[in-house]
């Protein structure tokens, strides 16, 4: 029994020695595990040097500073709208009940295409009046021609001839009136069944449809049944503050940005500056024309508009997230080469709620840290 206990003690001691030796060998092969898995960057006065595979670099976003025309004012709030010069809001000229709708929202139509079919007693009455006026005109004209022949043979008195001529001209006037009514309805149909077809006055895309089969419609409705527009042409409406009225003029180029495409700029031009000031908001409405060939922009989008003052004066523009302050000065981190990041003081000329324009300290095309600058500054300052 004693021998067995001695053997167990010896075996335990041997196992402990083997485990200690293995741990010592692992420590020699993994010395960094005692400290940190994050390699420390090399530092100079304003520059950080990271290894190319340093994990800190994965937390950074770096983008080149883009050249942008120097503005005199910060971006103005605006709204995308239909270009009324290429838009038609369609109302029914007659009262009636919708029996068929021929188009859907988003569909492209040509001028003259049928939009809907309407069962309208008013249309039946107009068509009937037109048919009766045409028949009456034909009859009165024939009567006048007979009266003229009789007068030439002294078969009737001049008074009868003049009466026949007057009846003919009255019938002619009535026929012109009813024809004009049918032309207004864009139909010269001989039918009097009351089935009126509402047609598209222009080519474009059905952007809105506010009618259903079975609906009762009236010519004095508040909202249009359809809106047809050419989406390649848009307006941008700006409510310009009174104090900035001297910064905008007709013909001036503008740069338009929307949240849907944060990295894209659209180009427009000022076409109208309002002649009056809103007494409540103290703002003037400015209208800009905007070409939209790819149909990216949609009416009622919110936008930011920057008037272009001088096409030749361009400055680097960076997002505000790239900036950090020390005291009263602004700084950014610039990538000199892969893994080498330099803290640099910059001077700003204009700053809005999203972007800043750099007057000194940065050149167009230099790569700027747009996310993670505060962490880099902490590393450079020796903070944990």
Q: What is the pLDDT along the chain (384 residues), one digit of tens a residue?
A: 444 444 444 454 554 444 444 444 444 444 444 444 556 667 677 888 888 888 888 888 999 998 877 666 678 899 999 999 999 999 999 999 999 999 999 999 999 899 999 999 888 888 889 999 999 999 999 999 999 998 888 888 889 889 999 999 999 999 999 999 888 887 665 556 778 999 999 999 999 999 999 999 999 899 999 999 999 999 999 999 988 888 889 999 998 999 999 878 899 999 999 999 988 888 999 999 999 999 999 999 999 998 877 656 688 889 999 999 888 889 999 999 998 999 999 998 877 778 888 988 999 899 999 998 888 888 887 644
Which of 322, 327, 310, 307 is closest to 358 using CA atoms?
Answer: 322
Is the pTM higher than 0.75? no
Determine contact, residues 82/110, Cβ cutoff 8 Å: no
Bridging pattern class, strands 216-217 and 96-101: antiparallel
Determine contact, residues 331/361, Cβ cutoff 8 Å: no
DSSP 8-state class, residue 84: G
What is the Cβ-side half-sphere exposure of residue 146, based on CA atoms within 13 angstroms?
7
The span from the CA of 304 to the CA of 261, in Å, is 12
Residues 6+ apart with CB under 8 A from 167: 140, 143, 144
Residue 102 CB burial class (10 angstroms; 0-12, 13-18, ≥19): middle
Domains and CATH numbers, the chain: 42-70+313-381 (2.40.420.20), 76-83+230-307 (2.40.30.170), 89-227 (2.40.50.100)
The span from the CA of 13 to the CA of 38, in Å, is 37
DSSP 8-state class, residue 246: G
């Amino acid at each position: 029994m004693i021998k067995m206990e001695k053997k167990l003690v010896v075996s335990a001691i041997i196992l402990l020695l083997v485990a200690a030796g293995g741990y010592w060998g692992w420590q020699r092969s993994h010395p960094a595990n005692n400290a940190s898995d994050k390699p420390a960057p090399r530092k100079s006065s304003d520059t950080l040097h990271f290894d190319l595979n340093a994990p800190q670099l994965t937390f950074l976003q770096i983008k080149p500073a883009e050249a942008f025309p120097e503005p005199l004012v910060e971006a103005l709030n605006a709204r995308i709208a239909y270009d009324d010069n290429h838009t038609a809001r369609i109302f029914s000229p007659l009262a009636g009940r919708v029996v068929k709708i021929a188009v859907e929202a988003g569909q492209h139509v040509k001028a003259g295409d049928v939009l809907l079919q309407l069962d309208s007693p008013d249309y039946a009455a107009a068509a009937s009046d037109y048919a009766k006026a045409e028949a009456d005109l034909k009859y009165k004209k024939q009567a006048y021609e007979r009266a003229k022949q009789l007068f030439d043979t002294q078969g009737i008195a001049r008074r009868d001839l003049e009466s026949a001529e007057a009846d003919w001209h009255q019938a002619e006037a009535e026929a012109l009136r009813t024809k004009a009514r049918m032309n207004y309805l864009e139909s010269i149909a001989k039918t009097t069944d009351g089935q009126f077809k509402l047609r598209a006055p222009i080519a474009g895309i059905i952007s809105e449809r506010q009618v259903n089969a079975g609906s009762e419609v009236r010519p004095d409705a508040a909202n249009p049944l359809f809106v047809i527009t050419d989406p390649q042409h848009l307006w941008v409406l700006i409510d310009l503050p009174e104090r900035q009225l001297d910064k905008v003029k007709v013909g001036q180029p503008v740069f338009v940005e929307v949240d849907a495409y944060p990295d894209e700029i659209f180009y427009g031009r000022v076409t109208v500056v309002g002649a009056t000031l809103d007494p409540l908001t103290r703002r003037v409405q400015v209208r800009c024309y905007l070409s939209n060939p790819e149909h990216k922009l949609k009416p009622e989008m919110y936008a930011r508009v920057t008037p272009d003052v001088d096409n030749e004066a361009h400055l680097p523009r960076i997002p505000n997230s790239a900036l950090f302050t020390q005291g009263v000065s602004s700084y950014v981190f610039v990538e000199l080469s892969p893994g080498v990041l330099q803290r640099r003081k910059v001077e700003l000329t204009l700053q809005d709620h999203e972007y800043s324009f750099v007057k000194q300290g940065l050149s167009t095309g230099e790569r700027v840290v747009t996310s993670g600058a505060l962490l880099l500054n902490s590393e450079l300052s020796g903070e944990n």
